[in-house]
Chain A
Amino acid sequence: EAGVTQSPTHLIKTRGQQATLRCSPISGHTSVYWYQQALGLGLQFLLWYDEGEERNRGNFPPRFSGRQFPNYSSELNVNALELEDSALYLCASSLPLAGVSTDTQYFGPGTRLTVL
């Protein structure tokens, strides 16, 4: 069974540009989570989508947005890029069968975004 996949692996942008990151969840999973991991730091929760709806978002400005498509894949968009947006962006998927409190998240390898 294929795991969570993310594309691209690396992305280089300049300040002020827009970045689009993509995530394909494990087949059958309906929830997708996005996290930001700046160098040497822990994971910061960005967004959670389930069944096509945004369920929760972390403490990030509105220029971080995303969506989930009918096939449950997801896209993260970052507008007006700033230097401090440089980070590893991780996507995770899950299938909350017994409720989201007990679901296991499966992570992709991440997209390394560099803003110059």
Chain B
Amino acid sequence: DAKTTQPNSMESNEEEPVHLPCNHSTISGTDYIHWYRQLPSQGPEYVIHGLTSNVNNRMASLAIAEDRKSSTLILHRATLRDAAVYYCILRALNDMRFGAGTRLTVKP
């Protein structure tokens, strides 16, 4: 029972920004928003996480809506190596469940 909703797939051109949306309308006050991605034939890898404020790291940025019912993962310049399935997850004590994710295709 995933608590997040993501588009099944998205496409991007290489070196362009990508905005991956996630809806989590039932988020509770203590849920953290995590993003992981799974490259082909690999286990998932951590991308970023946040609670209320926008977050930046070397991989991506996370923009969280003021009401926290949605968030957006931003890849500033997509590369072919960013082609993967991106999972948005709500993380709380004793609970971490992946949804179906968004398959990102990057075109050269």
What residues of chain A have their CB less than 8 Å away from a CB belonging to chain B?
4, 33, 35, 41-45, 48, 55-56, 58-59, 90, 92, 99-102, 104-110
Q: Residue on B with the closest CB to A102?
A: B32
Q: Is the CB of B30 within 8 A of A106?
A: no
Determine the distance from Cα of A5 to Cα of B2 in the docked complex, in whole angstroms.
27
Partner of B100, one of A41, A90, A102: A41
Determine the distance from Cα of A90 to Cα of B44 in the docked complex, in whole angstroms.
9
A55 and B43 contact, Cβ closer than 8 Å, known pairs A41-B100, A42-B87, A42-B100: no
What residues of chain B have their CB less than 8 Å away from a CB belonging to chain A?
1-2, 30-32, 36, 42-46, 49, 85, 87, 91-101
Interchain residue pairs A-B with the least CB separation, the first 6:
A107-B43, A43-B98, A56-B94, A42-B100, A104-B46, A101-B32
Partner of A107, one of B1, B30, B45, B92: B45
Tell me the smallest distance from the CB of B21 to a CB of chain A, in Å: 17
Determine the distance from Cα of A48 to Cα of B94 in the docked complex, in whole angstroms.
8
Q: In the assembled complex, which residues on chain A have CB atoms less than 8 Å from the CB atom of B95?
A: 56
Determine the distance from Cα of A109 to Cα of B45 in the docked complex, in whole angstroms.
11
Q: In the assembled complex, which residues on chain A have CB atoms less than 8 Å from the CB atom of B87?
A: 42-43
Q: In the assembled complex, which residues on chain B have CB atoms less than 8 Å from the CB atom of A109?
A: 42-43
Q: In the assembled complex, which residues on chain A have CB atoms less than 8 Å from the CB atom of B44?
A: 43, 90, 92, 105, 107
| Interchain residue pairs with CB less than 8 A apart (21) | A35-B98, A42-B2, A42-B85, A42-B100, A43-B98, A45-B98, A56-B94, A58-B97, A59-B1, A90-B43, A90-B44, A99-B93, A100-B94, A100-B96, A101-B32, A101-B93, A102-B49, A102-B91, A104-B46, A104-B49, A105-B96
Q: In the assembled complex, which residues on chain B have CB atoms less than 8 Å from the CB atom of A90?
A: 43-44
Determine the distance from Cα of A111 to Cα of B36 in the docked complex, in whole angstroms.
20
Q: Which of B30, B44, B95, B99 has the most CB of A within 10 A?
A: B44
Q: In the assembled complex, which residues on chain A have CB atoms less than 8 Å from the CB atom of B49?
A: 102, 104
Q: Residue on B with the closest CB to A44?
A: B98
Q: Is the CB of A101 within 8 A of B92?
A: yes
Determine the distance from Cα of A101 to Cα of B42 in the docked complex, in whole angstroms.
24
